[in-house]
Structure 1
């Protein structure tokens, strides 16, 4: 039940943010909005305010903003034509289309900034285990030592220590540790370890053979530093999302890693139980995924519409209706195929896998 409620909250917020982007820019550019719906399909509840009917619909895996002229039968009045989406310039239509995914990315950026201001858990540089016969053990480093410096650079967090070891590129290191109240210095020559990263790529990393104790502290940051860190984190996640999509197409990342609604619900529940910061981080991550995926040049997604309007902007004429219909059918088939794959993976992972 926690997973279902958490998933509804996450998806509801992210869909609202996405559609709000389309809605605000439509209004900004003088386009009338007839419907603003969270969800697809039959209306559950709705209220009309001004010209716009605000709805919650039966199927929560998406939403839509219906603008004046879309799906209209017969001729539009001159007034409606002036306020219709189709009559706006290509640049304005591009702005309205991009606003949805753009709002998802901006929302994630704001959430990441908030997370750094609230406080993020960080693993300290205290050693929990020294692996036998590895460089650290041979140098004399012991469990419960706290690494305070690498090559003269002060460290207090595990990721800082790991980054300094990696930056050394396998060259001998001067490692400073605190043992009780005593500061000791060791010369350690890392060994290399070859393995797979998250994207399935083979990477070689210098290591010294120590395991974190798991001790954590909460790091909070002032607004300026939180802004900087939130911006970097948002950029990193966007880049990782794009690279992951490329790797999936190249089949470097297996197709069975793609997840659907059950996976989202499962992860949302786990992050909610882990605490508010984890839940916010998951929501920001999912918001970036939603934003990037919607910008893919696939007809029926925002990115597909963007291609049509860019074509019109460059060549001064719209894509023919026949070409758009074919492209929409291909896009719909691709989207349905992706959804089927995601559901199949979810069933295999969470239902059959538990059976």
Structure 2
């Protein structure tokens, strides 16, 4: 438990620091004064004053904040004329939107950097394109594919890994594929039509996938990546996580996926501890995934979140004046209720799984 708690604090600390650093640097770049840069909420445990900014670590490590000059309602009117240029409220809509968006953007950037460094330093471990087993009554067995065959080409596309085979076959839509295999030093040609087979996707839904009916040997090889390849994979992975996260949220709202899958701090702590025990690479990979999730969640148009602030700024840009204080306060209260409800539900799910053995 102590190991998971420490891992959780490290994960949250890194993510919050990067998120708030985005707001902080954007505010400074736009000429806005920053009064407080805090990791955590509540009572301040450690404080350090540099120039006009107080940097601190607070008692509750479940977030953080950047307090800007003239940010709070009515605070800008209390400023001296000489300090008015430092006020967040007096900046243009575009500048304020940049400051708000910088937090989530930095979370996405952190994921990109982590993925890039991992791919650049560690490369990829991929499955050998060799048949370890042929499934009974499959298209591959009917065509004459045998254990030990090495797949060299599919439809004139060179095959370098078992992942290449899976990708091409999955996208085949069942059309016949011309396949070249190497067997005992000789090359043999086959034409195989992949067959649909029921399976479960990441959301537990039943789907049809096209398969040949072969299983790999389980052996892997190391594939180093050059800087361009590493960057391309980093962008692809980040985009994939964004797409998967948004799809998960949509499916939860439509009821296609159970809300029981929603997890909170206990689940994050448990998984963080597991990944930390699995090794440094697994742990920072997990940080990258959670960082993308945090960036997406913060962009939801819910008052209190960055997305809610961007919504208010969008309305201001269209109507030419800020949203009234009364409307803003009402919406913020609504946002607090929504977030509190979601947090309670996530905690409830975690506790139920904990007592039912789902978070062992």
Instruction: Check if 1:153 corresponds to 2:157.
Output: yes
The match for 2:252 is: 248
Alignment counterpart, residue 80 of structure 2, candidates 77, 82, 96 = 77
| 1:218 aligned counterpart, secondary structure | strand
The runs of 5 or more residues in structure 2 that have no matched partner are none
Match runs of 1:1-355 below 5 Å: 1-71=2-72, 75-118=78-121, 119-199=123-203, 202-353=206-357
Q: CA deviation at 1:167?
A: 2.9
- Of 330-339 and 204-213, deviating more is 204-213
Distance in 2 (CA, whole Å) between partners of 1:109 and 1:82 is 34
Q: SS state of the match for residue 128, structure 1?
A: strand
Q: Distance in 1 between matches of 2:87 and 2:239?
A: 35
Question: Deviation at 1:17?
Answer: 0.7
Map Cα deviations across residues 138-185 of structure 1 (whole Å, 9 max, x no partner). Answer: 223233333222222211212210111123221222333333434333
Report the secondary structure of 1:47's partner residue.
Answer: strand
Structure 1 alignment gaps of length 5 or more: none
If the length of structure 2 is used for normalisation, what is the TM-score? 0.92
Normalised TM-score (structure 1):
0.93
Q: Distance in 2 between the 1:9 and 1:317 partners?
A: 41
Cα distance in 2 for residues equivalent to 1:266 and 1:324:
37
> How far 1:324 moved relative to its partner?
0.6
**Cα shift at 1:332:** 0.4
SS in 2 for 1:174: strand
- Quote the Cα distance in structure 2 between the aligned partners of 1:4 and 1:212: 38
How many residue pairs match? The answer is 355
| Residues 260-292 of structure 1, C-alpha deviations (whole Å, 9 max, x = no match) | 112112222222333333323222111111111
Aligned-residue RMSD, C-alpha? 2.0
3-state SS of the aligned residue for 2:290? helix
1:353 is paired with a residue of what secondary structure?
coil
Tell me if the contact between 1:272 and 1:278 (Cα under 8 Å) persists in the aligned partners: yes
Residue 124 of structure 1: how far off its partner (Å): 2.3
- 8 A contact 1:200–1:252 mirrored in 2: no
* Alpha-carbon distance, 1:255 to partner: 0.6
